Amino acid sequence: MGWDTDGAPHTVALARTGRSEQEPDRLPEVRELAEFGWELAPDAPMWGFLPYVWPEDRRTWVPDRSTRWAVETRLDSTGTITGAICQPLSQHDLDVLENDANTDLAEAGVPPRPPGRLWLLRPIADHEDIDSVLDHLFTMAETRGIEARSSAAFAALCADELRSLHATAQGRHGTW
């Protein structure tokens, strides 16, 4: 477990520099890695710890060159959209989001994440995609009476279950 603070980003990211106006899932390096079975880590706050506990050989990261957007819409009295303004989130708003994420991580017993990274994961064992792994983790939590939320108990359950799934798959398939 860990944030791989000394590790380098995936090599596909090395050719890309500078800010992009694209959202994370639209970055060329993320789309390229998706072709090889990588998926962006879930961005829901309850899953913020997931890259920390995911098996190291099934996770990677790229520098976050993306832009997060705020969309403000205007409605008329009938609820019809009459206008929209789309603008990048300010640095202050981004800092608030990062602080909130690190607060959730602290509740899960996980140290703050390194800033400026987009984490990508590969499915584990016989799961086809990350959503399937998440469904499995939800089921495990429900079976054991652990609330599926950003907590130390849920993070520990996920870490143990991911380690078990990965060890079983490695034993069955050899090294990935």
pLDDT digits (tens, 9 = 90+) for 114-169: 989 999 999 998 899 999 999 999 999 999 999 998 899 999 999 999 999 998 87
Rounded to whole angstroms, the Cα distance separating 128 from 145 reads 26
Whether the per-residue pLDDT at 176 is higher than 90: the answer is no
Percent of the chain predicted with pLDDT > 90: 70
- Whole-angstrom Cα distance, residue 68 to residue 88? 6
- The alpha carbon of 90 is separated from its chain's Cα centroid by a whole number of angstroms, namely 21
- Strand 69-75 and strand 81-88: pairing? antiparallel
Average model confidence (pLDDT) for the chain?
91
Question: Is 53 in a helix, a strand, or coil?
Answer: helix
Residues 31, 81: contact at Cβ < 8 Å? Answer: no
Write down the pLDDT at residue 4: 86
More confident residue, 131 or 7: 131
Is the predicted pLDDT of residue 170 greater than 80, yes or no?
Answer: no
Summarize pLDDT for 73-119 with one digit per residue, the tens.
Answer: 999 999 999 999 989 889 999 899 999 999 999 999 999 999 899 99
- CB 170, CB 126: distance < 8 Å: no
